[in-house]
Every structure is written in structure tokens, then in C-alpha cells.
Structure 1
Amino acid sequence: MYETYYNLSAKPFRLTPDPSFLFVSAVHKRALAYLRYGLTQGEGFVVITGHVGAGKTTLLKVLLAELGDDVVAAEMVATPMAAKEVIERIGAALGITYEGLHRAAVLQRVEVFLKDRIEEGLRVVLLIDEAQNLTTEALEELRMLTNQQHRGKPYFQVFLVGQNEFRHTLQRADMEQFRQRVIASYHLSPMDAEETEGYVMHRLKRVGWRGDPEFTRDAFAEVHRYAGGIPRRINTLCDRLMLFGFLEERHVIDSEAVRVVSDELLEELRAQGLETVQEDQPEAIASDVAVSSEGVAGQFAALGLAIERMLNQGHREAALEDRVEELEARLSELEARLMKLGPGTVADVPRPSTNDSDLAFDDDHGIEGFDDLPGPDDDPYHGTDR
């Protein structure tokens, strides 16, 4: 539709991950370096985390495209699964048939497959997306499998790509053994304003854009403010901006156009009962509470914000509902404590707004407790149990 109007060869802001549109921001460049470094080590786990829509899956696809003929790659999108299901999912990813077989027989088939690849001089890499869905038991099963070797070589190497809550899972005390098997870890933070502008221009030029429509500087600033530097959010907004420009016969996209379109998107999200575009997934709840103001009043406001954000996202999974109930209980306790401080105390605490545009992103790279993990220039065995 608007592609013809603006003489473009294709839609520049598709939501489907496409390595050919990869924009290498500073954080994406570093994440790729960690992925490539991990690949050279041939063992253990490589972990990449980031916000929803941060570009994690695209990076995986780039890595896949770079693999040599000596690497057998198996892709898997994680879902909540019991430990006993892990080997079956790995078998399916490797193309191994196991219908009607019990777990021991499936494991035997997988082991034979992996040993045969080693005998052929090949290595196997398992790429797991949406790793935040893996249970602790499933992760432990993966760890045990990666400990297995044949002729001194590990059965396979695992790349885990997941949302922010996966970082919190790995920070738990009972995950110490798993952390020792991680050879590289990186967290994708959002792009800054300058990178957001570069990202938009990069995608436009990929489809033959020649200045029509023109994006003003204040339009780029507004896009960054609305989308928060998250690629998928930028794509959603800019795709609608291009459609808006076509319908309104505009050849200049300015800040006013961005505000009009962003308001329309926000109204649509509210009508669907979803969070505003500045949402974070439940993985950010811990940081919401931690980034509180001083004392009980600050905790009260932060917890309220966390609850509102979770409810507005419309998730219905039992685990999330339990988390909401837990936060509500803590909020009630804090409110009771505030009431004891005197009249007006609770009323003075600001309530969270669904229009909050100042929700903070965690810009820390890597996983807490992983400060000594090796990077591309470090000893890969430093701090491990090998």
C-alpha cells in the first residue's frame, strides 16, 4: 500500500525478524561478539537476554547464517516443560523420531546421533529461543546433558536466548552449578536516541528510500521517546507512521505526526486491555520494586506500579496471577503500615499511571554475579569448574 506511494521496494518496518535488515547498534555488535566468541569455545552455555522485541531472535538468525559446514545446528523454541521432556524436545530439534519410545530409548537414540556426529568431525549446537520458559528442572537436565562427552568432546553446546526474567532465574542461589557452565553472557539494553534514528534510516534505505517521506529531527526524538529504543516497538510505530503519511498524503513526518499515531496506538492497546507501549514484561517487576523512592512510601508506589503494569498486560497464566496476588498482599501490608504513620500519608503517595513514559530500563550487561565471566578477549575457563 504505502510502499507504492513512497516508491519503496518493500515494507521497511516488518515485525518478523529478518537478518537482512540487521542494524548493528553498539549493544547488538557486542552481543554478536559474545555469540561468536562462545561458538569458538565449542562447549557450555552462551546466554543472551533482553527486553521483548530487543532483537535477540534476529541475532540468533545471524549466527545461524554464519555457521560453517562443520556445525550441525538445531533450533528450539522453549515452552514450559518437565525435565523428562527435555531430551524428547532435543531429539525432535535434531530430527530424531521417537514416537512410542520411553525416555531411556529416546536418550539412547539422541546419544547415538551425537556420538556419530563427533565421529564425523562435526559439532552440534542447540539454539534455544524463549529460554525464560524453561523450568529450573529443565535447565538442570540441560546442564547434565552438556556434561556428557565422547572421545573428549562434549555432546553439544547450547545457546540460550531469553527475556529479562531469565536473568533473574539464573541469579538464584540454586543455579550456581548452572552458572559455572556459562562461558559468556550478555544483556541487550535498548538503543539510545541517536541509534534509534540510525535504525529507522537503515531500514528505510534497505528498501530504496530516497527522502520521501522526510523524517524531521524532532520526529526521531519523538519516536525514541515513545518506543524506548526497542526495535520491535520502533517497527510498530514507524509502520503505522508510513501508513498515516500515505493516507494523509504527507511527504514530511514530523513530531506532530508521531504524537497522533502514537496516541492512536495507545488507544488501541487500552481498548484491548493491554499495557501502554512503555510496558515491560513481568521480568522487570523486581527492578520496579528495587528502584523505589525512600522508605515505605516509595515501596508502596513502586509495588502499585508493578501490579498495574502486570494486570494491564492481560496475561492470564496461573504463575503470573500468583505473582499479582503476592504483590497485592505486600501492597496491602505496606498500605496498612502507611496508615499508621498518620492521616494523609497514603493520599500523599503518587499512584502509578498507565501513561507513565518514564519506566526505567535495566542497562546492565550480563547477569548479576557473572562479572568474572570471560568475554571475547578473556580466558574461557576462568571461574569455571572444568
Structure 2
Amino acid sequence: MYEKFYGFKQKPFRNTPDPRFLFMSRTHEEALARLHYAVEEKEIAVLIGDVGSGKTTLTRALMDSLNEGFRMVLIVNPRLTSLEFLKTLCSRMHCDTKSPYKNDLIDALYERFYDDHKAGITPVVIIDEAHLIPYRETFEEIRLLTNFQMDDTNILSLILVGQPELKKKLESESLGAFRQRIGLFYHIGPIGQDEIKDYIEYRIKAGGRDKPLFSDAAIKALYSYARGIPRVINSIASMALLEGFAKDVEMIDESIVSSASKEIGLNGYRKD
């Protein structure tokens, strides 16, 4: 709708996990570097972040950055029993078994992991929305995957991605053994106030426009309303572009951002 009016080739503030639109803020750059380290060291890594902080986009960027020496396995619906988790993992790993029995599934996984190891391939298992894992037994099954190792090295990497509730779950006494296996833990914070202008300019350029579109006052207001959360920034900016298009204005100012933010406020986001 507004793309042609503002000279975009595609919408610049889409809330989709497209790595091309990932702005590497300080916290996101640090998070991605740590994920790379966890993959290289074949560790269990836990990535925590609030809703809309860019966790899923980061994992997509990680997947895109790895070469053929890594086998990526993504599980996006972890509401699974321990047996369902093993079946899902076997399916994603293309294991040669149709057995419904846990021991057969574990044996098939080990054979697959070992074959990958001999071929110089590292499986990387990413569990998104891991705060939704419902059972301690499922966490235990995930932990036991780290027992698949050689004398001198692990043979797979595990990355759990979730909201802060995941941290609370992992702090429970019943998951103490799992917690001890975690090699890396990182919490993604919001984009800094000194980074918001660069964020807006990056997204605008990614959408295909070279000229500035938001005034400095509009950008400052955007940060105040969104508190540095990328998804909220994108939602407000998209609404502001729609309003700007409707009003036939060439530059988005603070008043348009404020009006757009009131619309977003209906979903629970309000200015401090």
C-alpha cells in the first residue's frame, strides 16, 4: 500500500524472522557470536529474550551462516512428551527407523550422530520456544542427548531459545542435572537508545529506500514507546507509515509516531 509512495521495494518493518532485516545491535551481535561459539564447541546453549526481542531471527541468521559441515535441525513446537521429542528428532534427522519404542529411537539417533561425526558433520539442534517444553522428562531426554560423545569431543550442539520463563524453569531443583550441562547462557536485551536511529535507517535501506524517512523527534518518540524491543518498533513504524501515506506526508514526524503508538497501545504497549 505505502511501498510505492515511499519508494520501497518491500515492506521495511515486517515482523518476520528474515535475516536480511536483522540489525546487529550490540546485544544481537554478542548473542550471535556466543551462539557461534556454542556450535563450534558443541555445547548446550540457552538464549533468553523477551517477546519480540529478535531471538528467532537470530537463530535464522545463525543457520544461514553455517556451512555444509553442519546439519541444522529446527524444532519450533516443543510441547512434546519425551517420546514425542525423540520421534520428532529422529524424523528431522532422517533416522532409519519407524519403531515407536524409545530405545530403538535412541539407538537410531546415536547411529545417525555417529555417521555424521565420521563424515565431519556436526548436528545442531535448535529448539525454539523452549519455555513451552511441558515436562521434566522432556528436558531430561534433551540432556541425555549430550551423552552422545566421543572420548575427546561432543558430537552435537544443542540450542534452547525461549522467553524468560525458560530461565525460571531451568532454575528449578528438578532440572539441576540439566542446568549443569549448559555451557553458555545469554539474555538478549533491548536495542540501546543510541542505536535506534541506526536501526531505523538500516531497515529503511533493507526495504529499498536510500533517503531518511523519520525525523529525529519521531525516532526518539519511537524508542520511548517501544522501549527498544524490535517487534514493537516495527509495529509502530509500520503503523506510522500507513498513517503517513494516508495523510500524504513525505516525512514521518513525532505526531504520527504518537498516533500510531496509541493504536499499538490497544495491544498493551504504552508510553512510560
Shorter-chain TM-score bucket reads over 0.9
Residue in 2 that maps onto 1:343 = none
Residue in 1 that maps onto 2:73 = 74
Structure 2 Cα separation of the partners of residues 238 and 146 of structure 1 = 43
Change (3 A) 1:104 1:53: same
Any residues of structure 2 matched to 1:246-261 within 5 Å, and which? 246-261=245-260
Residue in 2 that maps onto 1:10 = 10
Q: Return the offset for 1:35.
A: 0.7
Structure 2 Cα separation of the partners of residues 87 and 153 of structure 1 = 22
Q: Return the offset for 1:80.
A: 1.9
Any residues of structure 2 matched to 1:1-386 within 5 Å, and which? 1-42=1-42, 44-96=43-95, 98-99=97-98, 101-134=100-133, 135-150=135-150, 152-211=152-211, 214-267=213-266, 269=267, 276-277=268-269, 357-358=271-272
Contact 1:38-1:184 within 8 A present in 2 as well? yes
Contact 1:118-1:153 within 8 A present in 2 as well? no
Alpha-carbon displacement from aligned partner over 1:299-346 (angstroms, at most 9, x marks no partner): xxxxxxxxxxxxxxxxxxxxxxxxxxxxxxxxxxxxxxxxxxxxxxxx
Structure 1 Cα separation of the partners of residues 63 and 146 of structure 2 = 20
Structure 2 Cα separation of the partners of residues 60 and 250 of structure 1 = 37
Structure 2 Cα separation of the partners of residues 52 and 96 of structure 1 = 34
Contact 2:31-2:188 within 8 A present in 1 as well? yes
More displaced 10-residue stretch of structure 1: 167-176 or 48-57: 167-176
Structure 1 Cα separation of the partners of residues 102 and 56 of structure 2 = 30
SS in 2 for 1:252: coil
Contact 1:77-1:130 within 8 A present in 2 as well? yes
Structure 2: state its 5+ residue gaps: none
Alpha-carbon displacement from aligned partner over 1:198-254 (angstroms, at most 9, x marks no partner): 211110012232336x31222111111211111111111111111111111011211
Higher Cα Rg, which structure = 1
The amino acid across from 2:248 in the alignment is E
Structure with the bigger RCO (C-alpha within 8 Å, sep 6+) is 2
Structure 2 Cα separation of the partners of residues 184 and 178 of structure 1 = 12
TM-score normalized with structure 2 length: 0.92
Q: Return the offset for 1:97.
A: 6.2
Structure 1 Cα separation of the partners of residues 77 and 39 of structure 2 = 20
The amino acid across from 1:59 in the alignment is L
- Root mean square deviation, CA, Å: 1.8
Q: Return the offset for 1:148.
A: 2.4
Structure 2 Cα separation of the partners of residues 104 and 64 of structure 1 = 30
Provide the identity percentage: 32
Change (3 A) 1:217 1:45: same
Q: Return the offset for 1:88.
A: 1.0
More displaced 10-residue stretch of structure 1: 189-198 or 237-246: 189-198
Structure 2 Cα separation of the partners of residues 4 and 98 of structure 1 = 52
Give aligned pairs, total: 271
Alpha-carbon displacement from aligned partner over 1:115-154 (angstroms, at most 9, x marks no partner): 2112222221111111111132211111112112246543
Structure 1 Cα separation of the partners of residues 165 and 241 of structure 2 = 34
Q: Return the offset for 1:89.
A: 1.7
Structure 2 Cα separation of the partners of residues 79 and 68 of structure 1 = 26
Residue in 2 that maps onto 1:354 = none
TM-score normalized with structure 1 length: 0.66
Residue in 2 that maps onto 1:326 = none
Structure 1: state its 5+ residue gaps: 270-275, 279-356, 359-386
